[in-house]
Amino acid sequence: MPINILSQETVNKIAAGEVVERPLNVVKELVENSLDAFASSVTVEIEEAGKKLVRVSDNGCGMDKKDLELSILRHATSKIENFEDLSHICTMGFRGEALSSIAAVSNFDVKTRKKGELSGWKLSSNGGKNVSVVPCSGSEGTITEVRDLFFNVPARQKFLKSDSTERSRIISSFEEAALANPEISFKMLSENKTVFSSSKTDDKLERISDILGKDFAKDLINIKIEHPKVILDIYFTGRDNSLANKKFQHLFVNSRPVNYPRQLIYYVYQAYRESMPRDRHPGILIYITIDPSEMDVNIHPTKREVKFADEQGVYDIIYKSLKNAIISHAHPEIKINSEPKETEILRPHTGSNFKYRHEKSRSFSNGGSVVAEPISKYNPKNYSIDKYANVFAKQQEFVSEKFDENIKVLGQAFNAYIVVENKGELYIFDQHAAAERIRYEVYLSQIKAQSLRVQQLLIPETFDMSPSGASVLKANIALFNELGIIVEEFGQNVFRITAYPSLLGNVAIKQIVKTIVSDIEEDKNAEIKEKTDKIIRSACRSSIKAGDSVSFVETKKMISDLFKCDHPFTCPHGRPTAYKISLNELEKFFKRK
Ligand code: ADP
Ligand code: MG
């Protein structure tokens, strides 16, 4: 086979594929360039969801003629000089490939005027060819215009989704940039209409309120922590304001929006564990400021992931402070008056010599360097973490001590409730919720003990699914199998179930599997652990039918099983299992007291 050396044009087009997959990436890269240029105001305009036009204007430092000419060459960057510089990145960009990639697949224009110069320059190119640079007028800063994206790569165009999908991706990404950088004004227009506009502010909460809504922002709790290793500014919902989805979870590291690392989000949920129903989610924005040499951003093509040198250390600080703040917010009445034990998170920040972009950007405008804002609302003096943990443990013991053989099951009401008397309290249990809790905990414990019992079906149940449902099921088949639901592919989008856990009883298992699949589909980014939990909960829920009458003996067994559970008072979906009335309340009601 004859070997060809590819032309620069072809090489650039291929490379462009890695950086620019869709209009969203163009917006993101250009906005990042504006941020790196110390802009205090950034405007994005799009037409036809960015397919026809993306224009990003900033009031940043601009470029002179020489830099402008270099800017669209591949691997041309002002942000690093050599490989070592990668170990302390303070800028959003550093690979020097965004402009060359974007220019290769669009009709591309940059108008720029360097700060302090009297006039500017305009660069134009078509698909990376016919590059010209001519003088032009205009204010200080840079306007980058990308027209007819992928006009010369039709294959790419085919991959693009509808305008509304592409537009909403752009908007979410722009919102993230705005959340990450409250000290910068942002504006976005689509087809010449303002989509949103947010003026710069020193107050993150104000920006959060602008972008995510006043209702969400008004209930947020804030903690600020300075640690020698890391500065944290966390805004989060308390126990009573959990949400139905994960939309309001953002992580920013040195002002870069990144995905939550799996382990970190796990810690966040752990911190909420006791105080949030299982199918609810926290709203949480974590702003991390860390010495750039303590992390690596060069591990993901679109820089959506970061790695911390001391990952565990950082996560520990977040977990502990978050957990304490959640507890103390939920129980302001509990104060333990002892001097705090010196723990890592309580140690004051001893000053930092690292710089990050905003230090530079602020020193640009006011000539001074800035560390983080002082600690305000978080005052850990009121309690010590360890002591608090003990109080909690005692309460738990108390709960389980309380329920012993004295429990008297009085009967069943409306075929749905079980009435129980115990030590001066009357409980009305929701039979359905209670059964769900019991089944859930049995399922979990059998899995943990690797003693899950499954029943083989004499005749396997066969069913078909939509292509998208089938792809979700296929991707999770191993997990289903691990959980005792033995599913296998049985043709194109057709599956069959040969066995399932005995504890689920006699159920329409294929219906259950379908429900679980659509649950998983709704939340594609769920972690294995969450998915596992979802499958177990869903299976337990669907396996119990409300309104079934239960014999007296069965109710007794049920209540005694329930009190063996770790969490007898909530069903796995977080609803309460019981309503409690004390003798005292009854007496008051009947005016005996
Ligand atoms: P990178 O951001 O990785 O350096 P880019 O291809 O995005 O690579 O940009 C190349 C260079 O062009 C940047 O390093 C910067 O010097 C310059 N540049 C790009 N956009 C702007 C802008 N809006 N204002 C000032 N300079 C810019
Ligand atoms: Mg860049």
- Domain CATH number, residue 304: 3.30.230.10
Q: Which residue has the tokens 């990450």?
A: 180
- Domain end marker among 308, 334, 360: 360
Same domain, 322 and 458: no
Tens digits of residue pLDDT in 159-174? 898 888 898 889 888 9
Report DSSP state, residue 6.
P
**Structural domains of the chain, count:** 3
Torsion sign (Cα): 290, 294, 298, 299: negative
Whether the predicted pLDDT of 541 surpasses 70: yes
- pLDDT at residue 133, as a whole number: 97
Same domain, 356 and 239: yes
Using the structure block, give the residue that is written with the tokens 């227009």.
189
Q: How many CA atoms lie within 13 A of 169 on its CB side?
A: 18
For residue 546, the model assigns a pLDDT of 53
Q: Is residue 158 part of a domain?
A: yes
Residue 389 predicted with pLDDT over 60 = no
| Consecutive H or E run containing 316 | helix 311-330
What tokens were used for 406? Answer: 């004295």
| 590 lies in some domain | no
pLDDT band of residue 549 (cuts 50, 70, 90) is: low
Query: Residue 164 has which token pair?
Result: 């509304």
Report CA(100)–ligand 1 centroid distance (Å).
Answer: 10
For the segment 302-335, what is each residue's pLDDT rounded down to a tens digit? 778 888 999 999 999 999 999 888 888 876 654 4
Return the residue whose CA atom lies nearest to atom 21 of ligand 1: 33
Q: Are residues 249 and 292 in the same domain?
A: yes
> Mutation test of ligand 1: which of 58, 73, 77 has the most ligand atoms closer than 8 Å to its C-beta?
77
Query: Which amino acid residue places its CA nearest to atom 17 of ligand 1?
Result: 71
Q: How far is the CA of 77 from the centre of ligand 1 (A)?
A: 6
Which of 38, 68, 71 for mutating ligand 1's site (highest number of atoms within 8 Å of CB)? 71
Q: Please say if the pLDDT value at position 510 is more than 60.
A: yes
Domain identity same for 157 and 256: no
More confident residue, 593 or 336: 593
Return the percentage of the chain with pLDDT > 90, whole number: 35
- Indicate the burial class of 361 (C-beta count within 10 angstroms; 0-12, 13-18, 19 or more): buried
Q: Is 591 inside a domain boundary?
A: no
Cβ distance 289 to 551 under 8 Å? no
Cα(535) to ligand 1 centroid in Å equals: 47
Counting ligands in written order, the one closest to the CA of 142 is 1
Are 122 and 133 within 8 A, CB to CB? yes
How confident is the model at residue 361, as a pLDDT?
A: 33
pLDDT at 201 over 60: yes
Do 261 and 353 share a domain, yes or no? yes
Beta strand 120-126 pairing with 129-136: antiparallel
For a mutational test of ligand 1's pocket, the pick from 69, 73, 80, 99, i.e. the residue with the most ligand atoms closer than 8 A to its C-beta, is 99
Q: Provide the pLDDT for residue 3.
A: 87
Q: Which amino acid is at 254?
A: N
> How far, in Å, CA of 293 to CA of 142, rounded?
30
Tell me the mean pLDDT in the region 124-144: 95
Residue 453 is given by DSSP the state -
Residue type at position 414: F
- Angle between the N-to-C axes of helices 509-522 and 467-475, in degrees from 0 to 180, rounded to the nearest 10: 90
pLDDT at residue 400 in the model: 40
Atom of ligand 1 nearest to the CA of 92: 2
Mean pLDDT computed over 89-118: 91
Boundary (domain end) residue, out of 198, 230, 256: 198
Q: In this structure, is residue 585 part of a structural domain?
A: no
The answer on 355 and 403 residing in a single domain is no
pLDDT value at 430 more than 90 = no
Mean pLDDT of 116-133: 95
Average pLDDT of the segment spanning 47-57: 97
Task: Flag whether 469 is in a domain.
Answer: yes
Same domain, 187 and 227: no
Residue 260 Cα to ligand 2 middle (Å): 22
Q: Which atom of ligand 1 is nearest to the CA of 29?
A: 7
pLDDT at 390 over 50: no
The residues, ordered by sequence, that sit 6+ positions from 463 with a Cβ below 8 Å of its Cβ are 494, 495, 496, 497, 510, 513, 514
Q: How far apart are CA 481 and CA 497, in angstroms?
A: 10
Position 360 scores a pLDDT of 34
> Do both 403 and 552 map to the same domain?
yes
Atom of ligand 1 nearest to the CA of 61: 25
The percent of residues in the chain predicted with pLDDT above 70, rounded, is 86
Distance from the CA of 91 to the center of ligand 2, in angstroms? 9
* Pair (43, 149) in one structural domain: yes
Give me the mean pLDDT over the 438-464 stretch.
Answer: 87
Same domain flag for 450 and 572: yes
pLDDT at 548 > cutoff 70: no
**Residue 371 domain-assigned?**
no
Last residue of a domain, one of 198, 230, 262: 198
Residue with tokens 């959060």: 208
Q: Whose CA is nearest to atom 12 of ligand 1?
A: 71
Domain CATH number, residue 65: 3.30.565.10
Measured distance CA(204)–CA(213) in Å, rounded: 13
| 410 domain residue, yes or no | yes
CA of 56 from ligand 1 middle (Å) equals 13
Task: Choose the weakest-confidence range: 195-209, 353-367, 526-540.
Answer: 353-367
For ligand 2, a single-atom ion, which residues have Cβ within 5 Å? 33, 93, 98
Provide the pLDDT for residue 456. Answer: 85
Mean pLDDT, rounded, for 376-395: 28
Cβ atoms of 571 and 433 closer than 8 Å: yes
Q: Which ligand is nearest to the CA of 57?
A: 1
**In this structure, are residues 257 and 179 in contact, taking their beta carbons and an 8 Å threshold?**
yes
Asked if 237 and 223 count as a contact pair (C-beta separation under 8 A), the reply is no
Strand partners, 496: 462, 488
Q: Whose CA is nearest to atom 8 of ligand 1?
A: 96
24 CA to centre of ligand 2 in angstroms = 14
Residues framing ligand 1 (Cβ under 6 A) = 29, 33-34, 36-37, 58, 60-63, 67, 71, 76-79, 93-99, 142
Tell how far the Cα of 71 is from the centroid of ligand 1, in angstroms.
6
Q: 158 with 234, same domain?
A: no
**Does residue 367 sit within a domain?**
no
Least confident of 19-23, 241-245, 328-332: 328-332
User: Which ligand 1 atom is at minimum distance from the Cα of 78?
Assistant: 14
**Average of per-residue pLDDT across 234-251:** 88
Distance in Å, CA 144 to ligand 2 centroid = 12
What is the average per-residue pLDDT within 580-586?
A: 89
Report pLDDT digits (tens) over 204-231: 999 999 888 888 898 899 999 988 888 9
How much is the mean pLDDT over the chain?
81
The domain that contains 454 carries what CATH number? 3.30.1370.100
- Can you tell me which residue has the tokens 């977990």? 319
Mean pLDDT of 398-412: 62
Give residue 405's domain range: 398-580
Q: Find the 97 Cα to ligand 1 centroid distance in Å.
A: 9
Both 128 and 232 in one domain: the answer is no
- In whole angstroms, give the CA distance from residue 191 to residue 47: 5
**Tokens 């929701």 label which residue?**
430
Predicted confidence band at 388 (pLDDT cuts at 50, 70, 90)? very low
pLDDT digits (tens, 9 = 90+) for 472-494: 898 899 999 989 999 998 887 78
